[in-house]
Structures are given as structure tokens and as C-alpha cells.
Amino acid sequence: MLSEIKKPELLIPGGNLETLKTAVIYGADAVYIGGDLYGLRAKAKNFSMEEMKEGIAFAHSYGKKVYVTANITAHNQDLEGIRRYFRELYAFGEDRPDALIISDPGVFSIAREEVPEIDIHISTQANNTNYETYRFWNKLGATRVVSARELSLEELTVLRSKIPAEMEIETFVHGAMCIAYSGRCLLSNYFTGRDANLGACTHSCRWRYHIVEETRPGEYLPIEENERGTYIFNSKDLCMIEYIPELVKAGIDSFKIEGRMKTALYVATVARTYRLAIDEYFEDPVIYEEHKPFYMEEIRKGVNRQFTTGFFFGKPTHEDQIYDHNTYEKAYTYLGTISGEKDGYYELEQKNKFCVGDVVEIIKPDGSTIETNVKRILDDQGNDMESCPHPLQIIYVDFGTKLDKFDIIRRREE
């Protein structure tokens, strides 16, 4: 009976304070974030210590959790800084992180010494592919392990049966896939000197490659797996929203969404759609099955690279790659998030240009969507504007309908 099964946690990425708040409002049970150092998304905006404390306090005020990444492959020179970092996080008091996400055994040891009261989750970077690995980390005091992306549902089901009941399994169910085993990639460092294992990945797996023959420098020969192109490392994005029952039956405790470098529109889209799918499945599996086409329609309104089920149903084939381009499919453009109201006009920070008269959509945390027209745009001095061409400008807009804080504005692209 579903009523006897614990509903899995929905874990959403927060690349900055805006997306953390968006994740919380749009349905996340927990958010994972990174500071300026020691996480594996150095190109994300990330959080200062002040922003991190504010973000955690915000999430806690809604009864949600926040996990902080410290999952770099640490070198000697990193260790003392990591020790100080953990002490600073602990000093947040009631608004300290609910867990630290760690991959390195040395960093794990420091966390156990400095902040034993904070739970430790073992990052997917630690190559967690079998139940003995889970048992190993459980004996050392970890409360959760993030499974390697290379595991099938069958393997996860066996793993669940072989580990203590209180040991939690966290699994990526949506977002970008990595070409390297458990994300431990050397391409970026080799080509650019930016180490993916220290958080500075340049996504070199998305680049186009050719062969150069030794005696013919400058003559580029295409690498053709077939006639469609040469993006040989370019995986489709993971999407498991049509397989919630299978994920639940495998015993996964936390459904993790990838995307700490994505916009608030992406975060809101995936959070509210997965929230709806999970809740409807636990309410009535028949409703969930009937609504699968709607879930997919909604999830495609975010930014993605076509979808795959990754390793869940067996090893990926050539059909799980994209060979002719490396760009995202973009159905909608993010225009801004409502931050306040003044004299009937709604305040937002402009993310992309739009004009008076444009047809836009308002997406709301409850899953509803409103289509409306932009009636009028004012700058922060009250002057009329026919369009708002300046990114990050604070503007005030009449959308001809009542809106609420955290509503997100998007425009459909042809």
C-alpha cells in the first residue's frame, strides 16, 4: 500500500539565493547549494556565507532542508581551509546546514571532527556502485549515499535490500548527464587547465571534435559515428518523471534534480512538475498514469537537450547521444520573477528583453499557468518604457492581472 511507503524527498538545486527561494516555493523538500569554495560548480554564482545563512534560514522557515556541497577532490592545500569553512557553517546555529555533501575521505574525517552534529551525505563523486560501499560509509557515520549514475533500477533494488533500513539512497532522476564515470572527468583539465574535480568544469564533453592526422597539420577530419555528426560525448539529459513508480519501488529515498547553474525558470519548472507527479502518484496511481503526457509536456517547457532514461533500464546506446548539435532546446525564455508590488505594478529584475504588448505566461507555485499581455512597463523612476532592453534592470509592470511574489514570467519561443 502506498500509504505505508514513505514519500521520497524531492531535492532541487539552488545555484544562488534566487533559485534557492524558487526551489522552496515551487515544491522542493530540500535544496542543495554550494559556497564560493569546495563544491563542484565553481562557475555557478554560488553563495557567500551571508547569503548561505539567509538562504538556509528562508528554507527552514518553510520547514525545508538545505544541504551544502563540499565534494571537491581535495589536495593538501585545501584541508585547513575546509576545516575553517565547516566551523563557520556550524556557527550559523539553528540555521546551519542540514547536511554536508562530501566525496573525499579526508574531508569526511574533518567534518566528523569539526561538525559531528551535521549529517554527512556521500557525493556521487565517490563512485558509489555497490551495497558494500554503502555499508562502509554507514559504519563511519554517513546518513545518506548518492548513488552512481551508472546503476540500474535492478541494481538499486538489490542495494536497498542489502543495507540498513535507516541508510538513505539519493539518486539523480533528472538533468544533465556526465560522460565520465561518476563525474570524475579529466577532459576539462587537459584542454583548459580547469579541473572538473575542483569545480571548474568547462563542459568539454559538449564540444565538437575532429581528428588531425600527424603528417597533415591543419587538416581536420570529422569523427563520424554516423551521418548525423560528431558530438561523440554529448549525452541527452536524464528524465525519469514517467517512471516515478519504478523509482519508488526500488527504495530510493531522495529524488535529486541536477542543475545548480540553471535559471529560476528551470528550477520552478522541474520542481513544480516533479512535485505534482510525486504527489499525484501517492494520491492515486491511476491519476498519475493518466497525467503522464501532461508531466512531459510541462517538463519540456524547461531547458533541456532531449531526454534519456540513462542507466536505469540498462546501459545507454548510441540513441542516448546527440550528434548534430550541442545546444539546449529552449521552448520558453525567462523574463523575471515577481519580487514585490507598488501602486498596482509588479516589480521584477529583468532577465531578458520583452515589450509592451507581448503575450507572456505567468507560472505559479500551485502548478497553474496564466497567459496575459504586458500592458505597461515603467522604470524605477516611473517613466514609461516600450521595452526593457537592459538586463538586471529593476522595472515595474502592469500585467493586467493579479500576481503574487515569486510568480515567474516566461515567454513562449517559436
Going residue by residue through the chain (414 aa), what tens digit of pLDDT does each one get?
A: 677 789 999 999 999 999 999 999 999 999 999 987 776 555 555 789 999 999 999 999 999 999 999 988 899 999 999 999 999 999 999 999 999 999 999 999 999 999 999 999 999 989 899 999 999 999 999 999 999 998 999 999 999 999 999 999 999 999 876 666 556 566 666 567 666 655 567 666 666 665 666 677 777 656 555 444 445 566 678 999 999 999 999 999 999 999 888 899 999 999 999 999 999 999 999 999 999 999 999 998 876 667 788 889 887 665 555 555 555 567 899 999 999 998 889 999 999 999 999 999 999 999 999 999 999 999 999 999 999 999 899 999 999 999 999 999 999 987
Q: What are phi and psi of 320, to 5 degrees?
A: -95, 5
- How many residues would you count in the chain? 414
User: Which residue is listed with cell 551571508?
Assistant: 50
Q: List the grid coordinates of 90.
A: 556550524
**CATH 3.20.20.70 domain range(s) in the chain:** 2-180+235-328
In this prediction, residue 17 carries a pLDDT of 94
In this prediction, residue 116 carries a pLDDT of 96
CA distance 269 to 296: 11
CA distance 322 to 305: 8
- Between CA 179 and CA 186, with CA 183 as vertex, the angle to 5 degrees is 80
In this prediction, residue 100 carries a pLDDT of 98
In this prediction, residue 199 carries a pLDDT of 59
CA distance 390 to 29: 35
Q: List the grid coordinates of 326.
A: 550541442
159, 160, 166, 169: CA torsion to nearest 10: 80
- What are the distances in angstroms from CA 131 to CA 145, 253, 256? 10, 15, 19
Q: List the grid coordinates of 60.
A: 527552514
The one-letter code for the residue type at 56 is I
Q: 121-155: buried (b, 16+ CB within 10 Å) or exposed (e) per residue?
A: bbbbbbbbbbbebbeebbeeebebbbbbbbbebeb
Residues contacting residue 289 through CB under 8 Å, at least 6 positions apart: none
**CATH 2.40.30.10 domain range(s) in the chain:** 331-412
- What is the architecture, at CATH level 2, of domain 2-180+235-328? Alpha-Beta Barrel (3.20)
In this prediction, residue 183 carries a pLDDT of 60
Q: What are phi and psi of 252, to 5 degrees?
A: -75, 130
CA distance 358 to 397: 12
CA distance 87 to 91: 6
The one-letter code for the residue type at 312 is F
Q: What are phi and psi of 360, to 5 degrees?
A: -130, 165
CA distance 34 to 27: 20
Start-to-end C-alpha separation, the chain: 44
In this prediction, residue 229 carries a pLDDT of 46
- What are the distances in angstroms from CA 304 to CA 41, 94, 177, 332, 368? 18, 37, 11, 11, 21
Q: Which fold has domain 331-412?
A: Elongation Factor Tu (Ef-tu); domain 3 (2.40.30)
Q: List the grid coordinates of 53.
A: 545563512
In this prediction, residue 370 carries a pLDDT of 95
In this prediction, residue 227 carries a pLDDT of 46
